[in-house]
Chain A
Amino acid sequence: MKILVCISCVPDTTSKINFKDNDRVFDEQGIQFVINPNDEFGLTRAIWFKEKIGATVDVLHVGEASADPTLRKALAIGADKAIRIDTPATDAFVVSDQISNYIQTNPYELIIAGRESIDYNGSMVPGMVAAKCDLAFVNTCVRLEIEGSTASATREMDGGMEVLRVKLPLIIGSQKGLVEETDLRIPNMRGIMQARQKPLAVVPATESSSKTAINSFEKPAPKEAVKMVPADDIGQLIDLLQNEAKVL
Chain B
Amino acid sequence: MSILLFAESQQGKLKKGSAELCSYGFALAQQQNTSLTIVTINCEETDQLAQYGASKLINLNVNVGYFEAYAYASALSEITKTEKSEIIVISSSADAKYMGGILAGKLQAGYVTNVVELPSKSEPLTVKRSVFSNKAFANTTLEGAANIIGLANNVHEETIQSASTVVQQQDAQTQIKCTQTSIEQSQGKATIADADVVVSGGRGLKGPENWGLIEDLADVLGAATACSKPVSDMGWRPHSEHVGQTGKPVATNLYIAVGISGAIQHLAGVNASKIKVVINTDPEAPFFKAADYGIVGDAFEVLPKLIEKLKART
A residues in contact (CB < 8 Å) with B: 11, 13-14, 17, 19, 37-38, 92-93, 96, 115-116, 118-132, 135-140, 142, 152-153, 155-166, 173, 175-177, 180-182, 210-220, 223-224, 226-231, 234-235, 237-238, 240-241, 245, 247-248
Contact of B184 among A17, A160, A182, A227 (CB under 8 A): A160
Cβ of B158 under 8 Å from chain A: no
Contact: B302 with A234, CB < 8 Å? yes
Known contacts A124-B101, A157-B94, A176 near B70 by CB under 8 Å: no
Q: Which residue of B lies closest to A92 (CB)?
A: B111
Cβ of B169 under 8 Å from chain A: no
Q: Which residues of B contact A135 (CB under 8 A)?
A: 177
CB distance from B88 to the nearest CB of A (A): 13
B 146-161 contacts with A by CB, 8 A? 147
Contact: B141 with A213, CB < 8 Å? yes
CB distance from A129 to the nearest CB of B (A): 7
User: In the complex, A166→B184 CA distance in Å?
Assistant: 18
User: In the complex, A93→B144 CA distance in Å?
Assistant: 10
Helix, strand, loop or mixed for chain A's interface? mixed
Q: Which residues of A contact B313 (CB under 8 A)?
A: 238
Contact of A229 among B93, B114, B295 (CB under 8 A): B295
Contact: B104 with A124, CB < 8 Å? yes
Known contacts A124-B104, A137-B177, A176 near B242 by CB under 8 Å: yes
Number of interface residues of B (CB under 8 A): 96
A-B CB contact pairs (8 Å), 28 listed: A37-B246, A119-B131, A121-B113, A123-B101, A131-B103, A156-B94, A158-B93, A158-B194, A163-B181, A165-B179, A165-B180, A173-B98, A210-B143, A211-B109, A212-B111, A214-B138, A217-B136, A217-B138, A218-B128, A223-B290, A226-B288, A226-B292, A226-B293, A228-B294, A228-B296, A231-B302, A234-B306, A234-B309
Q: Which residues of B contact A180 (CB under 8 A)?
A: 233
Contact: A211 with B240, CB < 8 Å? no
Contact: B177 with A241, CB < 8 Å? no
B 171-192 contacts with A by CB, 8 A? 177-186, 189, 191-192
Q: Which residues of A contact B69 (CB under 8 A)?
A: 127, 137, 139
Cβ of B305 under 8 Å from chain A: yes
Known contacts A93-B110, A159-B189, A223-B290, A215 near B245 by CB under 8 Å: no
User: In the complex, A126→B69 CA distance in Å?
Assistant: 13
Contact of B99 among A127, A163, A215, A231 (CB under 8 A): A127
User: In the complex, A115→B148 CA distance in Å?
Assistant: 18
Cβ of B193 under 8 Å from chain A: yes
B residues in contact (CB < 8 Å) with A: 66, 69-70, 73, 93-95, 97-106, 108-114, 126, 128, 130-144, 147, 177-186, 189, 191-194, 196-197, 221, 229, 233, 239-240, 242, 245-247, 253-254, 264-265, 268, 271, 274-275, 277-278, 288-298, 301-302, 305-306, 309-310, 313
User: In the complex, A127→B133 CA distance in Å?
Assistant: 20
User: In the complex, A215→B126 CA distance in Å?
Assistant: 9
Contact of A130 among B94, B101, B114, B305 (CB under 8 A): B101
Known: A118-B133, A166-B179, A248-B221. 11 other contacts (CB 8 A): A92-B111, A118-B245, A122-B112, A137-B70, A156-B94, A163-B180, A163-B181, A164-B180, A177-B240, A219-B137, A228-B295
Contact: B135 with A17, CB < 8 Å? yes
